[in-house]
Amino acid sequence: MNQRDFPEDFIWGTATAAYQVEGAAYEDGKGKSIWNEFEKHPSAIVDNAVGDVASDQYHRYREDVALMRDAGMKAYRFSMSWSRVLPDGRGTVNRKGLDYYKRLCEELLRNGIEPYLTWYHWDLPLALQEEFGGWESRETVKYFGEYVGRIAKELDGLVKNFFTVNEFLACSDVGYGLGAIAPGLKLPKKRRNQVRHHLLLAHGTALQALRGVVPDAKAGLAENPSFLIPVIPVPEHIEAAKKAFREVNAHFITAVMEGKYPDCYLEREGADAPSFTEDDFKLIGAPMDFVGLNLYYGKPVRSAPETPEGYFIFNAETAASCTGIADFNFEPSAMYWGCRIVHELWHPKEILISENGMSANDRPSSGSEVYDPHRIKYLRAHLASLAGALREGYPVKGYFHWSLLDNLEWHLGFRPRFGLVYVNYATLERIPKMSWSWYKELIRTGKIE
């Protein structure tokens, strides 16, 4: 009757990103990031929103940590604004900016919450974009490694767990290919592919720098691969899903886990394939302590021996045309299958769900409560699927809900609300939602009710 779905040492937390929650965009010596420039362009962000204040965590971090403590959370995943600590991406450390992160980590530790720091969550120092072309250049990779090494040493044991880069695809394809997020570029395919490679190299360079100054640190990536799940859990479709997962994600997670680009990727890109060296992959393929999965959706896959690939992926458009349900690809079983497939392909030491959550148009009731049963339903289904992965022995060690707070959702502005805590953007008041209470009870009992 009292059996837990999650072990007592399971790591429960939430996640945020600096640009989305911190605010204080120009305070205490912070330099500009590519987002501070991108947001100036008309209609680049919905409602012409800007990150000057965001959720104001820079000034309200103690209040936010108190909320986490009240919920019994064991960890908080946040990102460091590179330009807050190194305004030009290199050179002299901005002590006031660094002191903010030290105070945040100290406050977390005082309250029994372990800091999990993400080194790069999309907010490149503007100076590096303007001088070198950002991630088009190996110079940026070099300065990223120096930033990680210098700041990790400065943190002096306050942080033991690190994510290197958050979501290669968004940084490269959306920022430098589609131009939908900062820096807003639409590069030709070959240059976009070089950005992809440099982000992989940044991950490996960060690992090397971190090992050099904090040998006992735990580190990995936070990646959102395309999660491909068998349409029916029978052997032929399971094998098709594994093959599809490896090949569709060949240029990112597969390259990291296998220490090389699979032939299928190089053949697919042809003359547009990136330039690289064997030494690059000695860094890129270096062992990690965990793999972080940012998991929001899944796509069904069937075995298709009649195709050259041997599989067929049902994309969102195909599903919607058949069912009339536009969000068909929000599939809770992706939690189970994502963990299982990653484990069976590559056997990482540990798996963390580094992000998972949903947005909604949450609003307070007349009594100031925020009722979000839709989010509870989403969480219950996804976490039940995750519990299934644990029962079968897959090494899932923690879960970080996206997000702690409602925040500036990048180019979509303030309209989407992902938080377990509602933020009144006029007053910056925090109101825990009903889903917050549900999550708190889950943390307390380890049981999905």
Instruction: Return d(Cα 78, Cα 292) in angstroms, integer.
Output: 14
Query: Is 267 marked active-site?
Result: no
E strand or H helix that includes residue 423 = strand 421-423
Per the CB < 8 A criterion, the answer to whether 254 and 343 are in contact is no
Instruction: Return d(Cα 119, Cα 257) in angstroms, integer.
Output: 20
Q: Of the listed 107, 331, 355, 409, which one is catalytic?
A: 355
Query: Is 136 marked active-site?
Result: no
What CA–CA distances, in Å, run from 198 to 122, 225, 248, 274? 14, 18, 19, 9
First to last CA, the chain: 12
Q: Which residue has the tokens 């820096």?
A: 183
**Nearest by Cα to 344 from 238, 220, 225:** 238
Alpha-helical regions (H) of 82-232: 82-85, 95-110, 126-132, 138-155, 168-169, 189-213
E strand or H helix that includes residue 334 = helix 333-346
Find out whether the peptide bond into 359 is cis, omega within 30 degrees of 0: no
**Nearest by Cα to 159 from 202, 101, 221, 223:** 101
DSSP string, 274-331: PP--HHHHHHHT---SEEEEE----EEEEEETTSSSEEEE--HHHHHHHHS-TTTT--
CA 237 to chain CA mean position, Å: 28
Q: Of the listed 22, 107, 136, 167, which one is catalytic?
A: 167
What CA dihedral angle connects 217, 222, 225 and 228, to 10 degrees? 70
What the block records as the tokens of 268 is 């697919």
What the block records as the tokens of 76 is 């908080």
Per the CB < 8 A criterion, the answer to whether 370 and 433 are in contact is yes
What the block records as the tokens of 46 is 């919905």
Catalytic residue annotation: 167, 355
